[in-house]
Amino acid sequence: MAMWVFGYGSLIWKTGFPFDDRLPGFIKNYRRVFHQGSTDHRGTPEFPGRTVTLEPAPGEICWGVAYKITKEEDKKDALLHLEVREKQYDQKEYLDFFIDINDSEPAVSGVMVYIASSDKKSNNNYLGPAPFEDIAKQIVKAEGPSGPNRDYLFNLEEALVQLGFKDKHVTDLATHVRLILYAATKDV
């Protein structure tokens, strides 16, 4: 039986595990938000970066990519990789995955999705909502072992564009971060 993993953040452009198939598509009733703190990849404990998580949003969809893994050894490798990489995400959900906006039946049921919950007891890196300007400034300034937080945002924006997906939150945030960076060069 195949294992399926849904990527809605960096898994879209940087998988890090072997897979047999890659399907662009979406999950329903969730939206992507920059509410998760990153203290190990795109920030530090002293100044966390912001990465995406999902929050329930009835009627909305979140575009991303589902990866199919069939070989037992590859499944083990993928889970080992994901448990380390996604360690700050405290929930795993198994959701329906769709590839066509007009489909009423999912292309795949039971796609594994890592989610960072808003429960501060189980997820001490949850930052939650903040004013748009504050999120953008934090992304501009944060940097961690995996590089600047803004690169995460720009890579996500580019990966979604390459797949033909639109995410207003990601696009608006990337545009605003670029404006802050541009303004900073004018102040020098």
Q: How far apart are the first and last CA of the chain?
A: 58
**Catalytic residue from among 55, 86, 93, 143:** 86
Give the phi and the psi of residue 32 in degrees, each rounded to 5.
Answer: -85, 130
Give the Cα separation of 182 and 178 in Å (integer): 6
Number of CB atoms found within 10 A of residue 124's CB? 11
55 catalytic? Reply is no
**CA 1 → CA 75, 127, 144, distances in Å?**
10, 37, 37
Count of residues for the chain? 188
The residues annotated with a catalytic role in the active site are: 86
